[in-house]
Structure 1
Amino acid sequence: MRLRSWLAATCSQDESAISFPKTQPSSSSSSSSSSSQRRRVVSDTSSSSDIPSSASISSLQSNLSLQTLPSVPSLQKLITQFETPNLSVSHLCSTTLNPKPSHPITCLAVHKNRLYAASAHEINVYDRADFSHLDAFNAHDPSSGSVKSVSFSDGKVFTAHQDCKISVWEITPSKRHKLLTTLPTVSDRLRRFALPKNYVSIRRHVKRLWIQHADAVTGIAVNNGLVYSVSWDKTLKIWRDSNLRCLESVKAHEDAVSAVAVSKDGTVYTGSADRRIRVWAKPLGEKRHVLVATLEKHKSAVNALALNDDGSVLFSGACDRSILVWEREDSANHMAVTGALRGHGKAILCLFNVGDLLLSGSADRTVRMWKRGEDGSYCCLGVLEGHAKPVKSLVAVTDSGANGVVSVISGTLDGVVKVWQVSVSVSDVPNEQKAKRY
């Protein structure tokens, strides 16, 4: 199934709506059916409207996401109801970047002191200290299509592309990026091409090696020497970092897979346009990953996944405008939904967890900041406003010695990257106030 860029189609007529995959004309009925399902699922967001910039946090309980997930309780509290009433939050947009040429920002990533911003097929690299431009790579290969994901492992940079391939780069001593190979590698293909059993049907009369993705690679995650990739071809593939060979290919979903997250213990979570999140693990002594659980609560396409630091909480964002919070059950090795975080007026497009903060970016052109309390409730600390188009990608980092300041970086479909300095602190309560409280 050949898919055009997700920029070819939009959720609605509103210029701020996010766009999704659209098929080219094909004789394959299954391909057109799959694409139709994707467009039908994501159209749930078309009836929503932007949240007015003056909307107060007190209106969170009555927003549009209740219409699609009324059975899921809300987890958030107002700041005045939160367990830390003397919480102080401030944020400031310190830098705005406009990578050239001006294309939608499809992916952001931070590695050490470098910021990677993917704009169409080109990846720009900036120094995070002063945001000076360090390098631009893949600029001369427009045939690779837009970059969907950037990840890092063992000194290598992995980039996922629209053209079904994963590129592997090394950083030279001069801080430039040099292409090492693409996955699957030539040697891996040569090892398998002669045996018919190594081929799978991707559509009528078309076969490919099972180690090859057959459509756009949409996400990459790295953990413990393994690289996990997901694709619109509905599969999850696992690669070994050391020799770059494909170890497994799993038919993960019934529709395009758009997100992947991996916990430190190796549990893999995949989110799809089929509205499901699936949990994968490799049992002790086994060679392959098996399906552990299927998480079903979303009413439309799952666009983003994020895990907290210890992997005990999973966050999922979808076109139904809600962020669902899943926590590990004591009696099982998978997650169960505990509630929803509401406030965005359109599809959730990206999530990022840093420390005890969760950041969510949406087609409503805002970024929301959520903080978890000790009782499992959440508070919306604030809304980052100022983007003119949907927020497609987020990344955040807390530097040592930053005195609690978190650098939040957001990228949008109009090719703009904004850097925000967010400060969250708890002020001391005067003794007389403590006496009154107790």
Structure 2
Amino acid sequence: MGIMSYHQNSCSDYDCQSVSGNLQPESTSPYSEPSLPSVPSLVSQSNHQNHHPPTTHHHCIATLKGHNSYISSIAIAGKFLCTGSSDKEIRLWKCNSSSSKLDHENITENMLVAGKGAVKSLVVLADKLFSAHQDHKIRVWKIDNYETDQHKITRLATLPTLSDRALKLLIPKNHIQVRRHKKCTWVHHVDTVSALALSRDESLLYSVSWDRTLKIWQTTDFKCLESVGNAHDDAINAVALSNDGHIYTASADKKIKVWKKNSGEKKHSLVATLEKHNSGVNALALSSDGSVLYSGACDRSIVVWEKDEGGNLVVVGALKGHRKSILCLAVVSNLVCSGSADKTVRIWRGVEKCYSCLTVLEGHKGPVKCLTAASDRSNPSDTSSCLLYSGSLDCDIKVVLGLVCLSLLCSGL
């Protein structure tokens, strides 16, 4: 990756501010907890000796500049890349691919500004874009003709919607105490909405917040169906959904909790609490089949959880190598991508519980705050390729293309 100019950030630039209830958000501080000593590393010298890593080629094909503050969220929407920043800005970037190269052009007329503070999370559903904000709101945008160059972006709704609030306002039992001398209806988030996720059938949107709640919304009429209050003892930083209906939430309270709504029940219930990290958990990611959960924390470790014969998640080990907090995770094919406060991205590949670090991507001048990855099918059939997008506190987005020979029976970077 190329060298970039960068200015030193103050503590406030690292999301270190306090939030209501004395909750602490995910840490992007350069000062991290000691590496997790209680979990054995899955990356060892013997792994490298017994499992020869594939020959990989990966290079930075673009550095996207335009944001004036750090990149806080990132998502792919058709032929566009969507990025959110800490100054309430959302930008769309047009991605034109060919067999020889990938050109990335900033669509400046589609810069959106909404709310206050950072855009914490972005998810895409067909022609809709959902954004989570530091001002406690979720916003819904419609991208008309987003597969063409002639497109228009309009705001459809702000959650909770006015009609949803009005209906709940009339019934006293819908009011909850959020602070001393302050009440609101249970459909409201009362602190930063930190992460979003879509159900497999895309009918439900899940949101988590630093207010320690998990909420479920319909994606058709944007109605709030359920709110799990006091889901954690501290701010919730991440959420992930498996195909079998389990919901995973990760918190600054060092815990990962597993939720599920059983058949015939109206509400989700807690089915398991996963405790292994010794510091706040910042990121979650699931394997494509949902059998492996990855969690990244301030203890510089990525814990690998796998389902045992009874269907329970158990720790099999940790991926260690980052020098500072793990801030974000992404999974594509059989690769795990991790971004860290140490300013690097690492690409891991696992085979039968044996993991190897394929590469360490350097070039960002600030902590790597968000990642997204996707397979790229525009390359020749004898290779498998991926595109990895990383957003950083240096205000830049880097686009990395990775290739590996299919004849090696591997896929990824």
TM normalised by structure 1 equals 0.83
Unaligned runs of 5+ in 1: 1-6, 11-16, 25-30, 49-63, 430-438
Pick closer, same or farther for the CA change 1:228–1:8 going to 2, 3 Å.
farther
1:46 aligns with 2:31: yes
Moved more, 392-401 or 209-218: 392-401
Rounded Cα–Cα distance in structure 1 between residues aligned with 2:259 and 2:32: 34
Q: How far apart are the structure 2 equivalents of 1:79 and 1:415?
A: 39
User: Structure 1 residue 155: deviation in Å?
Assistant: 2.8
Q: Which amino acid aligns with 2:48?
A: Q
Contact 1:409/1:420 (<8 A) preserved: yes
Matched, 1:20 2:16: yes
- Percent of pairs with identical residues: 44
Distance 1:137 1:291, change over 3 A: farther
1:266 aligns with 2:245: yes
- Mapped pair 1:168 → 2:140: yes
Is structure 2 residue 267 aligned with structure 1 residue 288?
yes
Cross-structure match for 2:319: 341
Aligned to 2:62: 95
- For 1:189, the equivalent position in structure 2 comes to 165
Is 1:400 aligned to residue 366 of structure 2? Answer: no
Tell me the alpha carbon deviations over residues 337-364 of structure 1, each in whole angstroms, 9 at most, x when there is no partner: 1110000000000000000000000000
Q: Deviations over 1:222-269 (max 9, x none)?
A: 012100000000000000111110010002111100100111222110
Alpha-carbon deviation of 1:138?
6.3
The question of whether the paired residues in 2 share the 8 Å contact of 1:351 and 1:394 is answered with yes
Distance, in Å, in 2 between the alignment partners of 1:276 and 1:221 is: 19
> In the alignment, does 2:362 pair up with 1:385?
yes
Q: What CA distance in whole angstroms lies between the structure 2 residues aligned with 1:215 and 1:19?
A: 14
**Unmatched segments (≥5 aa) in structure 2:** 1-8, 97-102
Flag the 1:8–1:165 CA change in 2: closer, same or farther, 3 A: farther
For 1:46, the aligned partner's letter is Y
**Greater shift in the superposed pair: 344-353 or 167-176:** 167-176
Code of the aligned partner of 1:246: C
- The aligned counterpart of 1:114 is 80
Whole-Å separation in 2 of the counterparts to 1:171 and 1:357: 30
- Determine which of 142, 153, 162 is the counterpart of 2:125: 153
RMSD of equivalent CA atoms: 2.3
Match of 2:303 among 293, 307, 324: 324
Structure having the higher Rg? 1
Task: Identify the residue that residue 133 of structure 1 maps to in structure 2.
Answer: 106
* 1:279 aligned onto 2:258: yes
Is 1:412 paired with 2:395? no
In the aligned structure 1, how far is the partner of 2:204 from the partner of 2:272? 21
The worse-fitting range, judged by mean Cα deviation, of 339-348 and 403-412 is 403-412
After superposition, what is the alpha-carbon deviation per residue over 1:361-383, rounded to whole angstroms, capped at 9, x for unaligned?
Answer: 0000000000011x211110010
Q: Sort the Cα spacing of 1:80 and 1:409 in 2 relative to 1 into closer, same or farther, 3 A.
A: same
Question: Which letter does structure 1 place at the counterpart of 2:307?
Answer: R
The answer (yes or no) to whether the contact 1:88–1:426 under 8 Å persists in 2 is no
Residue 400 of structure 1: how far off its partner (Å):
2.0
How many angstroms apart in 1 are the aligned matches of 2:400 and 2:360?
Answer: 11
2:386 alignment partner, SS class: strand
Q: Does the aligned pair in 2 maintain the 1:88–1:427 contact within 8 Å?
A: no
- Contact 1:123–1:136 (CA under 8 A) maintained in structure 2: no
- Structure 2 letter corresponding to 1:220: L
TM-score for both structures, normalised by structure 2 = 0.87
Aligned residues of 2:250 and 2:257 also touching (Cα < 8 A): yes
Amino acid at match of 1:131: H
Following superposition, the deviation at residue 83 of structure 1 comes to 4.9
Contact map agreement 2:14 2:28 (CA 8 A) in 1: no
Q: Distance in 1 between matches of 2:177 and 2:142?
A: 33
Report the equivalent of 2:189.
213
> Stretches of 4+ moved more than 4 A in 1?
42-45, 135-138, 426-429
Post-superposition shift, 1:186?
A: 0.9
Instruction: Tell me which amino acid in the other structure corresponds to 2:368.
Output: V
AA matched with 2:349 = K
Deviation (angstroms), 1:154: 4.4
Q: Is the 8 A contact 1:157 1:168 kept in 2?
A: yes
| Separation of aligned partners in 2, 1:92 and 1:284 | 48
Any idea what the Cα deviations from partners look like across 1:136-188, whole Å, max 9, x if unmatched?
556443x4321000012243110000100000111124422100110111111
Match in the other structure for 2:3: none
* Separation in structure 1 between the aligned mates of residue 376 and residue 370 of structure 2, nearest angstrom: 20
Find the aligned partners of 2:32 and 2:167 in 1 and give their Cα distance.
51
Cα distance, 1:84 vs structure 2: 4.3
* 3-state SS of 1:404 partner: strand
Larger deviation: 70-79 or 114-123?
70-79
